[in-house]
Structure formats: structure tokens, C-alpha cells
A and B are shown apart, each in its own frame.
Chain A
Amino acid sequence: MATANPISDDTSAAQPATADLVVFITAMPAEQFNGVLVNLENTFSLKDVIVATQNQLPADTATNLRIIPAPPSNSLWMLKPADFMGAAQSGLEHEAKAILILGPGADSLNSLALGNLANAVLTTSIDLALPHYSLPPHAGLINSAILYPLTRAVFASSVRFPLSIDLGLSPRMTERLANAAKRIPENHPGEALLWPVNEAVAAGFTLNEVDVGSRAMPQPSDPDINAILALVTGSLFADLEAKAALWQRPRRAPVTRRTATQAAPSSGSADVAGMVAAFQLATANLQEIWSLVLPPNSLLMLKRCSVLDAAEFRLPDNLWARIVFDFLIAYRLRTINRGHLLGALIPLYLAWVAGHINVTASGTPAESHIEAVAAAFEADKPYLVARWRWPDRFNS
């Protein structure tokens, strides 16, 4: 028996249906979209959920969910400002109590994860529910090296994945993100990312993490680390610069309430020698540029690290914290061109990755090392605040 297409073609001015939950699904391949629909049907009561999607429902797919079209966006591997605006519009039209945004690859999230994410907002009055993914030990390295430690130190937020592509939002959180999205100029691709954790802390909203298990993270079509690092890190730096008056206030880190699922132990070895060689090449060639950004003691420590053997290579946690802070300061001061600045950070990031791989290969759990790095960032926050206020001083 053929099932009627749930996407109505009726253009009359009918009263939009209401629902407790609006699920905003971003653009994704058809098979992923079908998987998400199946999981949603298994999780939620049909009368309580409306699905707003940019995807076309295939003719041979049968579903009982209420599906409405959403404005398209160009999101392929991360959420874009247009997604937040579309989610806010859909939530407002249908008077939803919670909005769930699901990014590409969300079919790998099981029904329990989807339910927990939505219920965190529906039942416990949390404004922003972020997923805590169980990723392989060498995945999400930019997040482990920079995004998580920096966000934790600056905003005293223990959210492990501050740039999640799946979110549970309250109506006011969605509205805030939509307003922030509207402020982003269209001709500024480098700043076309929103930071939900930063916005929630700035607004004084409540946020929490939800364990969702493993997830297939979408990857950019062009996995060029130069472009990815510059885009993500530059966007975070710009957001931190805009919220400087907020994060310089002393904050107490909240108690971590989640119990993280242990990721599978690492096995094998990645190309540590290649990354160390890249760092050594950069040490020989970029001293002049690094000296504009980093203080002399950091440069000296980097020189000492450059002579280490690849098997023993490691970047000290406090050195890495200061490097990131100094680059953030230089980004703000425009010491050098921002594109050049973020390009000069790449070899240092690869050095951290090489050290992280060596640490995990020696038996230390990856999460333990990442937590140690985050603690180093927290301990050195006074250094960041001091240099932010008095940029010309290297001694503090």
C-alpha cells in the first residue's frame, strides 16, 4: 500500500502544527537520512515531534513522522549559521519546547542517545545539551588540543566537545544562536562558525553534557589540515576576542557530572616521525615569525624539543598551553597577518599531536593526557589574562 507523502504540498495559510520537539536535520546523504528517521520513529511519540529537514524524502521511503521542509544550507561537515536560523524559525513556528539539531552522520546515533539528548532539554530544563561522543583515541585531535582545553580554561566549561554537530536546545538558546548567526556577515567565511558553549555561558544559560556513545564524524571533502585548523581555530579566536570582557572575570569550574565511556585503547602507530620532521623543519625556518608571537623562554623550549628523537618526542603541556595563549594574544593584536599567524601554528599543532601519540603509545590513556593538557590551560589562565591586559610584557 502506498503511503502518502507526509510533506504536504498544501500552500494555503493553514495553522502550523505544534509539537513538543522539533528535530532539525541538516543536509546529509539519503541513506543517512533514512537511518535518522528510523531512529526518531523508534524514540519519540509521533505526535510529539516534527522533523524539519533540508533533505528530500525519497518516494520509496515510508514514515509516519511529520516532516516539513527547511531552508537549505551548505553544511557538509559542521553546523553553519543558516542551520541555527532555520532551527530557530522552525521551533518558533511550531511552538516547540525543545529543538534537536542533528548534523551529517547522525544515523550512527542510537535511539537512546537521541532520547537522552532531547530529554535533557525537555525534562530537566537545560538550555543547551551537548553530546559527549566516544571517539577513537586519535580522532577529534583539534578539539582535544585546542578547542576543549581553551574553552574549559576561558569559560570554566567542562564540555568535552564544544563544537558538536548535534545539539539539544531550548527555545531561548535557539533564539540566541539565531541572533548570533544573523550578526555574522556573509562575506566572512573565516568566522562562519557559531560556538554554542560560549554563547550559553555569555547568556548565563545552563548547559550539560549527555553521553551518546560512538558516532561517525563527518569529514571535510578536502582534508587539508591547513585550511581546517585555520578555519576552526581562527573562528574560536575571533569569538574569544569578542567576548573578552566576559571570560576575564574569575570563574569556578563546574563539577563534572558525567561518567565518560572509555574509548578503545590505541594500537599501531601513526606517522609520528613525519610530524616531528615537519616541526623540526618549521623550527629551522619559522623562528623569525615565531619570535614575533612567542616569548624567549617558549622559543628556547621549542628549540630543545626540536632535537628530541621522534620516539621520545613530547611537547610539555604547559608549553603548549602558553603557545596557544600567545597565539590568541597575537591574533587579537594583529601582530602579523592573521592568515600567516594561523599558518605558523600548524607545525606546533603537529608537534603536539606527535607528542600525544607517543604518550598514548606509552600506555597513558588518551583522555588522561587530554585532561592533563586542559588542566595546564586552566593553571595558566592568569598568564593569558595578564598578557591580554598588558600585551607588551613577556614576563609574568
Chain B
Amino acid sequence: MQNLVTNSAQQTGQNAPVLPTYANDISIWNHMSDALHQSLYRVLTLLIAMLPGILAFFVALVIFAVAGVVVSWILRRCLIWAKFDLRIARKSGTDWTPTTSPTDIIARASFWVCVFLGLIIGVSAFDTSYATGTALPISLLPYLTRAVSAVLLLVAGILMARFLARSVLISAVNAQLQYARFLSLGVKWLVLVLTAAMVLDHLEVGGNIVELAFGILFGGIVLTLALAVGLGSRDLVSRSLESRVEHTGERTHTPEETANAGESLRHF
């Protein structure tokens, strides 16, 4: 570069001012431009390589979904014609509801089987588009399967949380606990926090930070619930002990004494 400056000074003469040259800067720009072009080319190539696979995935899914609708419709018609519900009701002695009849269940199941089949074929087509020996990274595919299982885990956790929350709420209300709703919410959030931690761990997101945060949060909720139950259930424990003593005393009564001993409710 120094030589270039010197040569240009010699060419223009000793007394003439030396004009700076930008040949090195242009070279930097060229290199940068080349790098950008190459990365753009790689990304576009990756996208172009992925596009057929993505397109194949959606085409397979749509085709099998449409096929599922057709199969479901044909099955429903055939089962209605064969009076399938009536035959099943006669055999099992159960009166089916209109929305959960065997015909409806079978038709829906056939539709979702076709959709699931389309999903598998689509994923397989997506995977095949990468089996061409290219050096492109295909780390997305394993992560995609993990994401699907994480979604299933999340759905199962949410359903479990709702079921347990409702069970606790009803039991606590029937036990005449004033903080029944609080207890129910606590159980629900316990299960949801546990589910969220499992999902993040399954996706390998966060690592130790997630584990630590979960431990702190879960332990905090459990401690809060334990304090609430321990401090608030003293009346319940004393009532339970009193009812046990009364029940033991009732067992020693004769039927006549029990009948004359005021208003003891007999639910059965």
C-alpha cells in the first residue's frame, strides 16, 4: 500500500500534492461485500433446500386432512345406515348421548387418524428433503420432535392441574374449610409450575437457572400451603376429634336410646 502511494507521488511529480488513494478501503468493502453475498447465498440456498420439504409437509397434511374428512363422512353414513348406535345400545344397555354416540366417536377417530398419518408422512417428506448429502445443519428436526412432545406434556399438565384443583375445591368445601378456594388455587399452581419446569427441562431451555427457580418457587408454594393448612385447620382437627368421640358413644347406645336422644340426623 505504501508503494502505491509512493508510485502515485512519483507519477504526479515532486511538487504536486499527494492525493490519498482508497484502494485499501475498496478492498475492505469488497471483502465485506463478498462475505455478505456469500452468507446471503448460503441462507438462500438453505431456504431453497428447505422449501420443498416444508411444502411437502403441508401438502401431505392438507391432502390427508381432506381424505380424513371424506373417510369420516363415509364411515358416519355407513354406520348410521347400519344402525350401529342402536345395536351397541342394545348390547351394552347404555343410552348414548347424541354428541358422544359410537358413530360420532368412530367418525372423529378416523378423521384424526388420517390427520396423524398425514403428519407422519409430512415429517418424513420433510426429513427426506435433507437426505441429499448436503452439509446444511439439520438440527431443527430433533428440536421439532421435542417441541411436539413438550406441547403434549404441557396439555397433560394443564388438564391434571384443572382436575386436581376441582377435586381439592369440592373436598375442601364439603369439609367446610373457609379457605377452600385458596387451597384449590395453590394446588393448581403447584401442578402448573411443575409442568412448566418439566417442559422447559425437556426443551433444554435455561438449564440450571430453571431448576433453581423451580425449586425456589415450588418450595415457596408448598411452605405457604403448609402454613395456611396448619394454622387454619385447628378447628377442623378439633371438630374431627369431637365427631369421633360422639360416634364412639353412639355405637354403645341401644336403638331405643338413640331414638329418644333428641334429633340425631340419619342420612340413611
Contacts and interface: CB of A to CB of B under 8 A. Distances in A.
Interface stretch (A8-16, A36-44, A148-156, A214-222): A214-222
A248 to B, nearest CB: 9
Nearest to B167: A340
Interface magnitude class on chain A: 35 or more
Contacts of B163: 337
Given A343-B170, A344-B170, A391 B98 contact: yes
A116 interface: no
A269 B166 contact: no
Interface stretch (A51-59, A63-71, A224-232, A307-315): A224-232
B263 interface: yes
A140 B98 CA distance: 36
B174 interface: yes
A281 interface: yes
A107 to B, nearest CB: 10
A139 B98 CA distance: 40
A314 B180 CA distance: 25
Nearest to A139: B266
Output the residue of B99, B169, B247, B265 with the most chain A CB within 10 A: B265
Contact of B266 (A136, A226, A336): A136
A357 to B, nearest CB: 8
Interface stretch (A17-25, A122-130, A239-247, A250-258): A239-247
Contact of A232 (B169, B178, B268): B268
Interface string B249-268: 00000010001001111111
A289 interface: yes
Nearest to A266: B263
Output the residue of B100, B178, B181, B267 with the most chain A CB within 10 A: B267
B268 A220 contact: yes
A332 B170 contact: no
Contacts of A270: 263-265
Contacts of A340: 166-167, 170
B95 A332 contact: yes
A285 B267 contact: no
Contact of B255 (A216, A274, A282): A216
Contact of B178 (A77, A241, A281, A353): A281
B139 interface: no
B176 interface: yes
B95 A141 contact: no
B97 interface: yes
Interface string A338-375: 01100110110000010001000000000000000000
Interface string A107-133: 010000000000000000000000000
Nearest to A231: B268
B94 interface: yes
Nearest to A264: B259
Contacts of A277: 176
A333 B97 contact: yes
Contacts of B97: 332-333, 391
B93 interface: yes
B233 interface: no
Interface in B93-112: 93-95, 97-100
B174 A226 contact: yes
A201 interface: no
Contact of B262 (A217, A268, A286, A357): A268
Contacts of B255: 105, 108, 216
Contacts of A105: 255
A219 B267 CA distance: 9
B173 A282 contact: yes
A223 B98 CA distance: 39
Output the residue of B99, B173, B180, B181 with the most chain A CB within 10 A: B173
B171 interface: yes
Interface string A268-292: 1111001001100110011001000
A138 B247 contact: no
A70 to B, nearest CB: 24
A285 B173 contact: yes
A225 B267 contact: yes
A267 B98 contact: no
A334 B267 CA distance: 26
A219 B264 contact: no
Output the residue of B247, B263, B264 with the most chain A CB within 10 A: B263
Nearest to B184: A285
B266 A289 contact: no
A174 interface: no
Contacts of A219: 266, 268
Contacts of A346: 174
A138 B263 contact: yes
Contacts of B174: 226, 278, 282, 343, 346-347
B268 A278 contact: no
Contacts of B93: 242
A346 B169 CA distance: 13
Contacts of B259: 136
A344 B170 CA distance: 6
A269 B170 contact: no
Contact of A269 (B180, B181, B263): B263
B265 A138 contact: yes
Contacts of A343: 170-171, 174
B268 A281 contact: no
B268 A228 contact: yes
A26 interface: no
B201 to A, nearest CB: 29
A105 B258 CA distance: 14
A278 B25 CA distance: 85
6 contacts: A139-B265, A266-B263, A285-B181, A332-B95, A333-B100, A353-B267
Interface of A: 77, 105, 108, 135-136, 138-143, 216-217, 219-220, 223, 225-226, 228-229, 232, 241-242, 244-245, 266-271, 274, 277-278, 281-282, 285-286, 289, 332-334, 336-337, 339-340, 343-344, 346-347, 353, 357, 391
